[in-house]
Amino acid sequence: MKAKKSVDVITMFNTDAPMVPLHFKISLDDDFFDPIIENKVITVTKESSVGSGGILYKCHYEHDNSISFCNLKFEPSLHKWKLFM
């Protein structure tokens, strides 16, 4: 049986700027870890693909006293976040 994975993202919206992910929580069945990425978005890239054309956020976060990198992708047409670690 495959483990169920999900990501919950809290974002900040401003009328003059694009949304910014502030915090995300990753779950793998009953195992949770909770990195904070507040103000640690490195780059924001709008994808220009046919279809959804998502927004890709390259971020770094600290977990267990080490810094790691990840990509968070928001797909506006689906209203979904995807996490790539």
Domain ranges of the chain: 5-84
DSSP per-residue codes, 2-46: PPPEEEEEEEEEETTEEEEEEEEEEEETTEEE--B-TT-EEEEEE
pTM given for the model: 0.72
Q: Which residue has the higher pLDDT, 65 or 4?
A: 65
For residue 37, give the amino acid letter: I
42-79 tens-digit pLDDT: 888 888 766 667 889 898 877 677 788 888 888 888 88
CB atoms within 10 A of CB 46: 9
Give the residue among 55, 60, 59 at the shortest CA–CA distance from 73. 55
